[in-house]
Amino acid sequence: MKSITFVSPCGMLGYGYPLESLESAMACKPDFIGVDSGSTDPGPFYLGTGKSFVHPLQLRRDLLPLLQASRQVGIPLIIGTAGGSGSNKNLDFFLDILLQAAKENDLHFKLAVIRSEIEKLVVHNALEEDRISPCGFSGPLSASAITETNRIVGQMGTDPIIAALERGADVVVAGRCCDTAIFSALPIMRGFDPAMSLHAAKIGECGTLCATPAGANDTLICTINQDSFHVVPANPDRSCTPETVAAHSLYEQPNPNCFYEPEGKIDLSDCDFTADDRRGVTVRGTRLVSPDKQTVKLEGTALRGYRAITIAGIRDEKCIENIDVIEANVRQAVQQNVRSTIKEDEYSLRFIRYGLDGVMGKLERSTNKPHEIGLLIEAIAPSQELANMIVGLTRSTCLHQHFPGRKTTAGNLAFPFSPSDFQGGEVWEFSVYHLMEVQDLDSLFPVTFKEI
Amino acid sequence: MRLYDLANVIRSKNAGPFTLTVDLLFEDDSRFQKILSYEILSPKTVAELYDVRPEDVTIHPFESVKAIKITLPRPCKASSGAPGDTDVYGSSQHYPLADLELHLSLPKIPSSCFLALRTF
């Protein structure tokens, strides 16, 4: 047991990767292929609805070559956060694509499926027993927040994946999963240093995002040795340098000197990054500090209503000057108009003013006066019909709203489209983003097997 | 001179749906050290700019890559994608910090230099 090599084809299944890169990576005789298939990055909608944020055709395009390559040489393929957010619905959507691709291409393997949806009762009990704490700035969790949550997933670490691999799984499809678990499970199972394995996994999980030119859409080859690991892009047009690999530790992390996984705190403060002459970098000096208690990160979502929007340009200078007055008067007129149908606290109306303060809102400090504003009006209401009605009324009111010194008496807004309003559908919010202390991890992440 | 003109890379991103992280990357070590020594780049300043509590702001230097990482609660008071959010990925929240004036007499970052580092 000298080293173990894995291939990370891309940062996310469905982001694409060159097939030539996979081919070169496979020539290095890897021990397994790992790939992440989900994230909370695109927001709460995807866990809330169980829908995929990657198109099924693109998912299949990325998945099939990995399945074929791994079956051809008989190495495990490990897929984490399958289908987008790891809920049972996401997982089943993913399995449909996987099984259809396998059938059409006559591929056979032992499949392990690890589910990660957690019963709300388990979380209620943990809350009562004071085993829940906030994660980041999510604040304290309440029983009512759990009740209004539609589904909760737990982020698994390496243990359930190791359990699947120990029982001979060729393909592991995991629900919500720490990105590091995908790539460090097999190395840890084979006895490699967990600190090196977890750090290698952290660097490797985004494909070549740790290289230059950076990209989540290309393949990284990573080899873990006893006291170091080595990363190199499969594509000869990309290189890793000590700076790009070290800088990747900053990405999306609150603290560049360490990160936390279920296996413990991974301390990077004494890490050493050395370049070789073949576009690769070797990393040494990572340390692992075991945790005091075992925790699982929970993610849950609650439905907050339905969205409708309209988009319009404002070009008139007096209109731009009076935008605050217009907004206040439109809000008031709309409220008076709809109050027999819906109470003021049952809907929300938002004016996003691109060109003025659309991105930063009240925090915008620039006092530059724009010559035009892109106005996005959003209504969120308890039903799609109500949201449509409110945004429609707001649009027509705003179009004809009077203001001091008005010259544009035929209309204030330039609509690029007919119809001018759009349905945004369900609006979700992360209602649970907390750590739960647990004794028995295995029961949370059940593994099932099937011969395909 | 504004922080935007002093850093080679200035970028923001969610670190989970409730936390924002802003990275400042520098090519030049003396510039990096000088900026670190400026008291204005403090949790108090960041808290005022983003309307968050100073005790919730952390500023970490990362010497090996000449970087400063600033972490704070999401400034729009909404978690990623929740009603009221304006930036689901948090990738345009480096303002108003980028506009922060540091009274330094250093040359602006030339654009070629910027191009070399922006690929991180």
What integer pLDDT is reported at residue A269 of this predicted model?
86
| Residue B6, min C-alpha distance to chain A (Å) | 18
- Give the span between the Cα atoms of A384 and A175, in whole angstroms: 31
For A42, residues 6+ apart whose C-beta sits below 8 A from its C-beta are A53, B81, B88, B89
DSSP line for B75-95:
TTSS-TTSTT-S-TT-TT--T
Q: What is the mean pLDDT of chain A?
A: 95
**Is B58 near chain A, with CB under 8 Å?**
yes
Nearest CA in chain A to B50: A363
pLDDT(B110) > 50: no
State the pLDDT confidence band at B106, using cuts at 50, 70 and 90.
low
What integer pLDDT is reported at residue A256 of this predicted model?
78
Task: Choose from A286, A360, A367, A426 for mutation: most chain B CBs within 10 A.
Answer: A360
- Give the span between the Cα atoms of A205 and A10, in whole angstroms: 8
- Give the span between the Cα atoms of A13 and A118, in whole angstroms: 24
What integer pLDDT is reported at residue A221 of this predicted model?
96
- In our burial notation (b when 16+ CB lie closer than 10 A, e otherwise), range A151-179 reads bbbbbbbbbbbbbbbeeebbbbbbbbbbb
Task: Choose from B18, B49, B97, B113 for mutation: most chain A CBs within 10 A.
Answer: B18
| Residue B83, min C-alpha distance to chain A (Å) | 7
State the pLDDT confidence band at B105, using cuts at 50, 70 and 90.
low
Phi, psi of A256 (to 5 degrees): -75, -15
Mean pLDDT over A183-202 rounds to 96
Q: Which residues of B touch A427 (CB under 8 A)?
A: 83
> A119-123, A269-273, A430-434: which has the minimum mean pLDDT?
A269-273
Whether cis (ω within 30° of 0) applies to the bond prior to A291 is: no
What integer pLDDT is reported at residue B30 of this predicted model?
87
State the pLDDT confidence band at B114, using cuts at 50, 70 and 90.
very low
Q: Do A44 and B86 lie within an 8 Å CB cutoff?
A: no
- Give the span between the Cα atoms of A183 and A9, in whole angstroms: 12
What integer pLDDT is reported at residue A178 of this predicted model?
95
Q: A383-432: per-residue pLDDT in tens?
A: 999 999 999 999 999 999 999 999 999 999 999 999 999 999 999 999 99
**Is A428 near chain B, with CB under 8 Å?**
yes
C-alpha distances (whole Å) from A74 to each of A60, A67, A280, A287 are 20, 10, 26, 32
- Give the span between the Cα atoms of B68 and A320, in whole angstroms: 38
State the pLDDT confidence band at B63, using cuts at 50, 70 and 90.
confident
How many DSSP H helices and E strands does chain B contain? Answer: 4, 4
Token pair belonging to A203 = 């660097």
Q: Which residues of B touch A48 (CB under 8 A)?
A: none
Residue A84 near residue A51 (C-beta atoms within 8 A) = yes
The residue with greater pLDDT, A443 or A431, is: A431
State the pLDDT confidence band at B109, using cuts at 50, 70 and 90.
low
Amino acid at A131: R
Residue A234 near residue A171 (C-beta atoms within 8 A) = no
Nearest CA in chain A to B71: A254
pLDDT(B77) > 80: yes
**Is A253 near chain B, with CB under 8 Å?**
yes
For A207, residues 6+ apart whose C-beta sits below 8 A from its C-beta are A8, A9, A10, A11, A15, A17, A215, A216, A217, A218, A219, A220
State the pLDDT confidence band at A266, using cuts at 50, 70 and 90.
very high
Task: Choose from B3, B4, B64 for mutation: most chain A CBs within 10 A.
Answer: B64
Q: At what angle do helices A194-204 and A179-189 cross, to 10 degrees?
A: 140
Q: A152-167: per-residue pLDDT in tens?
A: 999 999 999 999 999 9
What integer pLDDT is reported at residue A346 of this predicted model?
96
> A71-80, A108-117, A258-267, A321-330: which has the minimum mean pLDDT?
A258-267
Nearest CA in chain B to A301: B82
> A191-200, A265-274, A375-384, B59-68: which has the minimum mean pLDDT?
B59-68
Whether cis (ω within 30° of 0) applies to the bond prior to A213 is: yes
pLDDT(B118) > 50: no
Residue A333 near residue A188 (C-beta atoms within 8 A) = no
Mean pLDDT over B55-65 rounds to 88
What integer pLDDT is reported at residue B37 of this predicted model?
83
By the 10 Å C-beta count (0-12 exposed, 13-18 middle, 19+ buried), A376 is classed as: middle
Whether cis (ω within 30° of 0) applies to the bond prior to A65 is: no
Task: Choose from A429, A431, A434 for mutation: most chain B CBs within 10 A.
Answer: A429
Q: What is the CA radius of gyration of chain A?
A: 26
Angle at A259 between CA A202 and CA A186, to 5 degrees: 40
User: A171: which strand partners?
Assistant: A77, A111
| Residue A250, min C-alpha distance to chain B (Å) | 8
pLDDT(B51) > 50: yes
Give the number of beta-carbon pairs within 8 Å between A and B.
Answer: 137
Residue A376 near residue A395 (C-beta atoms within 8 A) = no
Nearest CA in chain A to B86: A359
Amino acid at A383: S
What integer pLDDT is reported at residue B120 of this predicted model?
28
Q: A270-292: per-residue pLDDT in tens?
A: 888 999 888 999 999 999 999 88
* Residue from the list A41, A138, A358 with its beta carbon closest to the beta carbon of B89: A41
Q: A353-389: per-residue pLDDT in tens?
A: 999 999 999 999 998 889 999 999 999 999 999 999 9
Q: How far is CA B50 from the centre of its chain?
A: 11
| Residue B105, min C-alpha distance to chain A (Å) | 23
Q: Do A254 and B76 lie within an 8 Å CB cutoff?
A: no
**Is B120 near chain A, with CB under 8 Å?**
yes
Q: What is the mean pLDDT of chain B?
A: 84
Token pair belonging to A238 = 């990309």
* Residue from the list B67, B82, B85 with its beta carbon closest to the beta carbon of A247: B67
Q: Do A256 and B60 lie within an 8 Å CB cutoff?
A: yes
**pTM for this model (two decimals):** 0.91
Q: Do A361 and B86 lie within an 8 Å CB cutoff?
A: yes
The residue with greater pLDDT, A247 or A315, is: A315
Backbone region of residue A74 per phi and psi (left: phi > 0; alpha: psi in -120 to 50; beta: other values): left
